[in-house]
Amino acid sequence: MPLSENMHVLLIWSIVLLKLKMFHRVRPSFFSLFFEQLGELGLLSFKTFKNIFKKPWEKKIFIQQLEEVGVRSFPVVSLTAAFVGLVFGLQTYVGFHRYVGPGSEAYGGPIISLGLSKEFIPILVGLMVSGRVGSAMAAEIGTMKITEQIDALFSLGADPNRYLVVPRMLACFIMLPCLTLYGDILGIGAGYFYNVFIMGVNRFIYLKNTLLYLELWDVISGLIKAAAFGIIIAIIGCWQGLRAEGGAEGVGRATTRAVVYSSISILLVNFFLSKVLPTRLG
C-alpha cells in the first residue's frame, strides 16, 4: 500500500478515535440525570419506610431530632406565622373595604382562617424548616460521608439508613404537623388582632363568621400536607448528604441542593395534594 494511502487511513482512524473520546466525555443529558436521581431517591425512600418497622430503634437519636426539628424551629415558625397572619389580615381588610364596602370587613375572618390553615402556614412552615433543618441534615450527613464515618458504620455492621435516615424522617413527620398547628393558631390570632384591635372591626361578627365557616377538615388537610412536607424534607436532606463528595466544597453543594430540591418539591406536592384532598368531608 502506498505511503500516502497509509497516512490517509491513519488520519481517518485518528479522527474516529477522537470522535469516540469526545463522545464519552459528553455529560449525560438532563433527562438521564433526572431519572437516575429519581431512582436513587425512590430506593432510599423505600429502604427508609421498610426500616421503620425493624428493631432496634434509635430512640436517643430520634429524641434529639425531635428537639432539633421541633423545639429549635419555634422562633422562625413564630415570626413567620405571626407576620403572615398580619399581612394576610391587612390585605383581606383592604380587599373587603375597597371592593365590597365599608362595614363588610368583619366577614373576612373565614377567608383569613381558611387561607392560612389550608395553604399559607403549611407551605411557609415547610419552606422555613427546609432551610433550617434540611440543610443541617445534608451538611451533617455529608460531613460524615466525606470523613468516612458512614464507611465506619458499615464496617461495624450497622445500617446507616436505620441509624441516620429513619430517626430524622420520623422526627420531621411528627413535628411538621405540630409546628403547622402552632403556626395556624398564631397566624389566625395575628389576623384577628390586626382586624379587631388595630382596624376596629366588630369582634363578635368576625368570630361568629370564622367559627361558622371554618371546618375541622380545613385544619386537618393542612396538617396532612405538613406531614408529607416533613417526609420530603428529611428524605431529600439525607439523600443529598449521602451523595456528598469532594470535600468541604461538595458538602456545600449538597446543602444547597437539599434546600432547593426540598423547596421545589414542597410547592409541587402542595398543588397535587390540594387537587386530591377533598375540599370538605361529608
Per-residue pLDDT of 198-219, as tens digits, reads 988 889 989 999 999 889 999 9
Domain segments of the chain as ranges: 54-276
| Of 214 and 158, more confident | 214
Which one-letter amino acid corresponds to residue 178? C
Per-residue model confidence (pLDDT) at position 20: 52
Is the pLDDT score of 282 beyond 70?
no
Residue range 181-193, pLDDT digits in tens: 999 999 999 999 9
At 154 the pLDDT is 79
* pTM of the predicted model as reported, rounded to 2 decimal places: 0.86
Give the C-alpha separation, 261 to 127, whole Å.
11
- Using pLDDT thresholds of 50, 70 and 90, give the confidence band for residue 78: very high
Averaged pLDDT, 155-162: 81
First-to-last CA distance in the chain? Answer: 89
CA angle 152, 144, 131 (to 5 degrees): 150
Instruction: Indicate the average pLDDT of the chain.
Output: 87
* SS3 state at 16: helix
DSSP at 54 = S
